[in-house]
């Protein structure tokens, strides 16, 4: 079944907080569309249809089609405001796109190859240090996600942004600013790391019935004598 990245919207006439609250009670989502050298336009969308669309990861990074009356706009989802504890969308921001202008987007990372990574075979655990990255590209080159191949990652090794194989025409924003951030690493499980320390601690604690060093015996005897003198 093909995934649809299309939503129907209407131009919103009422503005202000009071109007937005009324729209939400009517199961509608206030929104705005802007960019591409056009005037910003307030919109409203059906909440149930929005909720269904947001269940698809690709909706957040794909080029979307907004049908507004008899017109269609190519946009990306630029902002999303949710209720802090209710399953409700409060507001959405859509940015119009131009085919010849680069855009910046955060896209999720999909990690592959962990099952054959040398560090995993040695008993290590893979940690994801980043879950998404900001990229820059033309709309036609916008990927839904970036694959990160960790199949060659060894124990106690890091994989950095510069090691990610990118689709054609896609750049990582952080790298353009000289920030080659770590993305993933493989390390020993913490329980195994702490085990030697715990064993060392148990060895340092005298077992029951073991001989007490002479210095400790003398200190104990001096404390007992002091207590007897206090009672007198």
pLDDT of residue 195: 53
Whether the CB-CB separation of 92 and 80 falls below 8 Å is answered with yes
Residues, the chain? 232
Mean pLDDT per segment of 10 residues, for the chain of length 232 residues? 76 74 80 93 93 92 93 94 90 94 95 96 96 96 95 96 97 97 94 55 50 48 52 50
Give which of 164, 161, 138, 137 is closest to 149, Cα–Cα.
164
pTM (predicted TM-score): 0.73
Domains and CATH numbers, the chain: 6-97 (2.40.240.10), 104-191 (2.170.120.20)
pLDDT in tens, 198-213: 555 555 444 444 444 4
Dihedral sign of CA atoms 72, 79, 52, 49 in order: negative
Measured between alpha carbons, how far apart are the two ends of the chain, in Å? Answer: 94
CA distances from 133 to 9, 59, 105, 152, 171 (A): 29, 16, 8, 21, 10
What value, to the nearest 5°, has the Cα angle with vertex 169 and ends 168 and 172? 105
pLDDT of residue 211: 46
pLDDT in tens, 66-106: 999 899 999 999 999 998 988 899 999 999 999 999 999 99
**Rounded-to-integer distance, Cα 57 and Cα 51, Å:** 12
């Amino acid at each position: 079944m093909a995934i649809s990245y299309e939503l129907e919207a209407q131009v919103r006439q009422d503005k202000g907080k009071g109007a937005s609250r009324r729209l939400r009670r009517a199961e509608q989502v206030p929104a705005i569309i802007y960019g591409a050298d056009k005037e910003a336009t307030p919109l409203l969308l059906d909440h149930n249809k929005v909720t269904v669309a947001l269940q698809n990861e690709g909706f957040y990074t794909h080029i979307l089609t907004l049908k507004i009356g008899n017109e269609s706009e190519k946009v990306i989802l630029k902002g999303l405001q949710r209720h802090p504890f209710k399953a409700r969308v409060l507001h959405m921001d859509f940015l119009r796109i131009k085919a010849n202008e680069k855009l910046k987007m955060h896209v999720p990372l999909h990690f592959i190859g962990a099952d054959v990574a040398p560090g995993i075979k040695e008993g290590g655990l893979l940690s994801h240090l980043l879950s998404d990255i900001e990229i820059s590209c033309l709309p036609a080159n916008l990927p839904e996600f970036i694959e990160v191949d960790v199949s060659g990652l060894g124990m106690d090794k890091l994989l950095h942004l510069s090691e990610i194989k990118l689709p054609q025409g896609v750049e990582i924003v952080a790298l353009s600013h000289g920030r080659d951030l770590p993305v993933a690493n493989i390390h020993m499980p913490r329980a195994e790391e702490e085990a030697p320390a715990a064993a060392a601690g148990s060895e340092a604690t005298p077992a029951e019935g073991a001989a007490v060093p002479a210095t400790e015996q003398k200190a104990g005897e001096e404390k007992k004598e002091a207590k007897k003198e206090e009672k007198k």
